[in-house]
């Protein structure tokens, strides 16, 4: 039973830096979306309800951590028969694949909104 415990410990040691990274990227995403959105919104209107941002960020954080937990579950299930050296190699690959997906999902709104704005040239306020 030592192997599953080792996998869980390996993943859990990295959970706090993972959450800090997503928190910082999430703040950047919110700032970009709010800044670009403010150019489109009518004066005095919110781009997004503040409570929507708070609850959305909390829901995203919970979902990200559930998915992160799937990382060590997949590690235990998929790598159970591998020798230690192979486990370490594939565990790291699995971890970094999850990091890349998480970063992309976190930054997606911050990338899409300016891209859509550049393509469609949003004019100030709804027409």
Task: Please list the pLDDT of the chain residue by residue as tens digits (127 residues).
Answer: 467 888 899 999 999 999 999 999 999 999 998 888 777 777 777 777 888 889 999 999 999 999 999 999 999 988 888 787 888 889 999 999 999 999 999 999 999 988 887 787 766 544 4
Residue 78 lies in a domain: yes
d(CA 30, CA 113): 11
Residue 51 lies in a domain: yes
d(CA 73, CA 14): 15
d(CA 127, CA 118): 18
Write the DSSP string, 43-93: TT--SS-HHHHHHHHHHHHHHHHHHHHHHHHHHHHHSTTS-HHHHHHHHHH
The pLDDT value given to residue 124: 54
Residue 123 lies in a domain: no
The count of structural domains within the chain is: 1
Residue 125 lies in a domain: no
Residue 124 lies in a domain: no
Residue 32 lies in a domain: yes
The pLDDT value given to residue 1: 45
- The residue segments making up the domain with residue 53 are 2-118
């Amino acid at each position: 039973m030592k192997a599953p415990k080792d996998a869980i410990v390996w993943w859990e040691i990295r959970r706090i830096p993972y959450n800090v990274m997503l928190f910082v990227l999430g703040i950047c995403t919110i700032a970009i979306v709010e800044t670009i959105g403010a150019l489109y919104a009518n004066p005095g209107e919110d781009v997004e309800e503040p409570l929507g941002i708070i609850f959305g960020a909390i829901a995203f954080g919970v979902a990200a951590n559930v998915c992160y937990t799937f990382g060590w579950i997949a590690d235990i299930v998929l790598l159970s028969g591998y020798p230690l050296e192979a486990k370490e190699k594939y565990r790291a690959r699995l971890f970094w694949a999850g990091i890349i997906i998480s970063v992309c999902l976190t930054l997606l709104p911050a990338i899409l909104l300016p891209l859509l704005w550049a393509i469609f040239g949003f004019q100030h306020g709804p027409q």
